[in-house]
Chains A and B, each alone.
Chain A
């Protein structure tokens, strides 16, 4: 059982400690409970652009010096942004714990004095290149964006992807940066997780020393997302320079951690991932109409999503692939899954979770996620329990309720000349 100590500083910063001396390393991980869902239309992509800005220096750390401080002692670091959260993390030789806390606290408490228009302009261009590289210049690159556009109405802020639009990135101003920082980047909106080779008493002292005097913010802006039912299926055909047609499907679920979300996670493992999985067996091995299939749930807080995709082989109509997928979903909804399939899926969950906890950095990230989404880091110790308890009947029931209710989004990605 993972040994976790969870407490809060007076300013509201949630701190989680996991002492482990197997390697002379410490993972420092901060989850700020803000992401692209906190953006407003016209400023999409801002939370992620802001993440870039937070690497460009603070009052006592020069431009590009954050990276330099970490790398020059043998550390690794990064940050990521998603709908519901933004994380910043570094793994350092454990004797540099104070350095990491100094860097993270400086940008939490003293970021604005170092902000300049020039830094914003550079990072805006970098993020635009990121969008070109990962979305606009690669086959199927805009599929996720298109799915979200159909799956959520414009007033539900999962309507757009974290990367945002080129136009909105262009509109972001220094005032936006200041407002966003003041609203969201504060100790009472953050979980700081430390995993690794430290003495807890010393770690607590250092955390207090570096974060204790950063003030909490005032009230958070009112934030209420209510998703309206789709009222049926939403479909789109999109043509672009690709060679093989691909079908994308999205089903709505409750948010991460809900029983139905866990069932859907197990279902996704039963549907795809190895040769024994249902969709791979039916579409790739038996009928040989698809080159690849994938099914997965996303780790999202406000609403859940089960995603399916399959690439049709050359000269196979994508409708035939879609029909084969639906036949397999119907089969699960109607006849359920076998005990052996369920056992394999549960074992897979156990292994994957063990792999996530194996390294300090990914372990700290899981702990930070549990604390942020569920308000309780010890969820990490109990995370697998609902997986182990799930029954075949529950998998079938969730399949009927969330995949068989007609509420779904389907996109056919087709080559331009088809």
Chain B
């Protein structure tokens, strides 16, 4: 008879090692990182350009992402269709984009064709045509996208939350810009951004896959070695708004059958010395399925399909935010439960078992998150973007293991402040306005563009 009454014990742990990384800094300052991974006949290549929407001014918000959108519209004598045709025959696909901290160009390709794909990649990174006709089309597509977002409650909530926290500066405007700023972006802005920020000494080329590292390094050197160095731009500084007392911003969406709730404030930058205790604390609070906030709102109360908390670790302090879509009738109750969890985590009330579970999760899950070449490239990209030490992944387990119960309460008290939080709700104001009153916080109503009534 099989004994089913207790969980079977584990076998002896098997070792895991992050793939070896070949690194080189070329004479022009370009960083190159290559990791061999022969598990599948695929390769993933990324260019990390260390400037993103954080460089956008309010005037031309959306410039970094629009510039990235234009990169695949023509390069090296091919137009946009030609790039897609050529890459398609190689079994490759090209992606471009920007977030707050950086811009990205990526190719995923059958590894047997990686060399040929790199020629196209180099043209796109170094010699994009940025055709004026494409700007008009891409701008019009962006304006349509912004228009569509006016009906997406999660997007509205995220935009208004960022705008309230950071104003119109870096991290505050939407990465995609707004209709007025996108309309203002001219060819000279795009060429200016590309010329100023797409420079070898601000860029890293990262490759992972079924490749020969030495040979691939030689390919990269031949394609990028003569890329002339540029002047590294100064990094813009984020300017978060100070919140003196918690308050609610209510955005009416008369057709809403759920309230999209965002609760939080400014968090902390990726380079904080408290990164590991913060990661453990947030995972326990709301970072994973079995965290307190999700178990409370979803599994205990059935208020939501999923609730979570996040520290957006960026180069400068990104937001800490709890997000939950809940049905209209339990909007106030959901906010009360979130605040109760935020207060409780600050008291040091942490059970040994939940701390052990959370740490074991973070330590154990790493190999499962870096199986594919794309995953490995993504990890190397983080390492480059945030300047993590070369032995970061080897020391990760020890760093998590060192987090103790006292550390949880300490970082919770230091980085979570329920008395100075912004609450943004996109929902059916007629149904939820009155119940919200009993929370005892000022309620400001604003429209979806952020204009306060």
* Docked-complex contact A241 and B144, CB < 8 angstroms: no
CA distance in complex: A355, B210 (Å): 13
82-132 of chain A: CB within 8 A of chain B: 91, 93-99, 102-103, 105-106, 110, 121-130, 132
Cβ < 8 Å to B, chain A residues 258-310: 274-277, 281, 284-285, 288, 291-292
B144 touches A311 (CB 8 A): yes
Given contacts A60-B5, A129-B305, A288-B137, contact A94 B288 (CB under 8 A): no
Assembled-state Cα–Cα distance A285/B131 (Å) = 13
Query: B41 contacts A354, CB within 8 Å?
Result: yes
Contact B110 A95 (CB under 8 A): no
Chain B residues positioned under 8 Å from A313 (CB to CB): 140, 144
Q: Answer yes or no: B371 CB below 8 A from chain A CBs.
A: yes
> Pick the contact of A244 from B4, B42, B147, B366 — CB < 8 Å?
B147
Q: List A contacts of B236 (CB < 8 A).
A: none
The reply to whether A354 and B42 form a contact with Cβ atoms under 8 Å apart is yes
With A23-B367, A244-B147, A348-B88: A98-B39 Cβ-Cβ less than 8 Å: no
Write the chain A residue with the least CB distance to B365. Answer: A74
**Any chain B CB within 8 A of the CB of A326?**
no
- In the bound complex, CA of A36 to CA of B73 (Å): 43
Q: Which of A24, A63, A110, A348 has the most chain B CB atoms closer than 10 A to its own CB?
A: A24
Which one, B295, B301, B367, contacts A24 given CB within 8 A?
B367
If A24-B16, A102-B7, A275-B72 touch, whether A71 touches B290 (CB-CB below 8 Å) is: yes
Q: Does A64 have its Cβ within 8 Å of any Cβ on chain B?
A: yes
Complex interface residues of chain A between 345 and 365 (CB less than 8 A to chain B): 347-348, 350-351, 354-355, 357-361
Indicate if B57 sits at the interface (CB-CB under 8 A). no
Q: Bin the interface of chain A by size.
A: 35 or more
A73 to B151, CA, bound (A): 40
Q: Inside 8 A of A60's CB, which chain B residues have their CB?
A: 4-6
Residue contact A91 to B140, C-beta cutoff 8 Å: no
Which residue of B is nearest A360, CB measured?
B371
A355 touches B144 (CB 8 A): no
Which among B14, B298, B357 is the interface contact of A95 at CB below 8 angstroms? B14
CB distance A73 to B364 under 8 Å? yes
Q: Are A72 and B151 in contact (CB under 8 A)?
A: no
Stretch of B78-86, B120-128, B166-174, B409-417 that contacts chain A: B78-86
Please report which residues of chain B, range 279-300, place their CB below 8 angstroms from some CB of chain A when the two chains form the complex: 288-290, 295, 298-300
Given A64-B290, A93-B13, A351-B91: A132 touches B258 (CB 8 Å cut-off):
yes
Q: List the A side residues contacting B141 at CB < 8 Å.
A: 284, 291-292
Checking B152, B258, B303, B368 against A91 with a beta-carbon cut-off of 8 angstroms, the contacting residue is B368
A22 vs B325: C-alpha distance in the bound complex, in angstroms? Answer: 40
B325 closest partner in A (C-beta): A133
Chain A residues numbered 329-377 whose CB sits less than 8 Å from any CB in chain B: 340, 343-344, 347-348, 350-351, 354-355, 357-361
User: Is A137 positioned at the interface, with any CB of B under 8 Å from its CB?
Assistant: yes
* Cβ contact within 8 Å between A67 and B151: no
Nearest CB to that of A313 among chain B residues? B144
Query: Digit string of B247-264 for contact with A (CB within 8 Å is 1, else 0)?
Result: 000000001111000000
Complexed CA–CA distance, A99 and B364 (Å): 15
The reply to whether B91 and A350 form a contact with Cβ atoms under 8 Å apart is: yes
Residues of B within 8 A of A95 (CB): 10-14
Question: Nearest-CB distance from A338 to chain B (Å)?
Answer: 11
B181 at the interface (CB under 8 A from A): no
Please, which residues of chain A bring their CB within 8 A of the CB of B148? 139, 242-244, 311
Q: Is B402 an interface residue (CB 8 A)?
A: no
A285 to B221, CA, bound (A): 35
Question: Nearest CB to that of B17 among chain A residues?
Answer: A24
**Known contacts A93-B367, A348-B88, A358-B40; A71 and B93 CB within 8 A of each other:** no
The number of chain B residues with a CB under 8 A from chain A is 81
User: A125 to B85, alpha carbons, bound, how many Å?
Assistant: 48
User: What's the least CB distance linking A414 to chain B, in Å?
Assistant: 13
How far is B40's CA from A127's CA once the two chains are assembled, in angstroms? 37
The chain B residue with its CB closest to the CB of A77 is B289
| Contact (Cβ within 8 A) B289 A71 | yes
Known interface pairs A74-B365, A291-B145, A358-B371; A94-B14 also in contact (CB < 8 Å): yes
Question: Could you tell me if B15 and A72 are in contact, using CB atoms closer than 8 angstroms?
Answer: no
Quick check: B361 and A23 within 8 Å, CB to CB?
no
What sequence of 0s and 1s flags, for each residue 371-385 of chain A, a beta carbon within 8 Å of any chain B beta carbon? Answer: 000000000000000
Q: How far is the CA of A64 from the CA of B292 in the complex (A)?
A: 12
Contact residue among A69, A93, A105, A354 (Cβ-Cβ distance under 8 Å from B14): A93
Residues of A within 8 A of B299 (CB): 63-64, 122, 126
Known: A99-B10, A132-B258. A122 touches B367 (CB 8 A): no
Given A74, A213, A242, which contacts B368 in the complex, CB threshold below 8 Å? Answer: A74
Residue of B with least CB distance to A349: B91
* B314 interfacial by beta-carbon distance below 8 Å: no
Does B239 lie at the interface of the complex (its beta carbon under 8 Å from any beta carbon of A)?
A: no
Contact A274 B88 (CB under 8 A): yes
Which residues, 124 to 144 on B, are CB-close (under 8 Å) to A? Answer: 137, 140-141, 144
Q: Are B365 and A129 in contact (CB under 8 A)?
A: no
Q: Does B431 touch A at the CB level, under 8 Å?
A: no
Which residue of chain A has its CB nearest to the CB of B357? A72
Tell whether, in the assembled complex, residue B91 and residue A242 are in contact, meaning their CB atoms are under 8 Å apart: no
Which residues in A have their C-beta under 8 angstroms from that of B140?
A: 288, 313
Those 4 A-B pairs whose CB atoms lie nearest each other, nearest first: A74-B364, A125-B302, A24-B14, A72-B357
Can you list 26 A-B pairs, Cβ within 8 angstroms, ordered by A?
A23-B16, A24-B14, A24-B15, A25-B367, A74-B364, A74-B366, A76-B365, A110-B4, A121-B302, A132-B258, A132-B325, A133-B258, A136-B257, A137-B325, A213-B1, A242-B148, A243-B151, A284-B141, A288-B137, A311-B148, A313-B144, A351-B92, A351-B108, A351-B110, A354-B42, A354-B110
Given contacts A59-B4, A137-B153, A358-B39, 8 further A-B contacts (CB under 8 A): A25-B371, A68-B357, A122-B300, A124-B302, A241-B255, A276-B84, A314-B144, A340-B89
Residues of B within 8 A of A (CB): 1-2, 4-16, 39-42, 72, 80-81, 83-85, 87-93, 108-110, 137, 140-141, 144-145, 147-148, 150-153, 255-258, 288-290, 295, 298-305, 325-327, 356-358, 360-369, 371-373
Write the residues of chain A forming the contact surface with B, with a CB cutoff of 8 angstroms: 22-25, 59-60, 63-64, 67-69, 71-76, 91, 93-99, 102-103, 105-106, 110, 121-130, 132-134, 136-139, 197, 209-210, 213, 241-244, 274-277, 281, 284-285, 288, 291-292, 311, 313-314, 340, 343-344, 347-348, 350-351, 354-355, 357-361
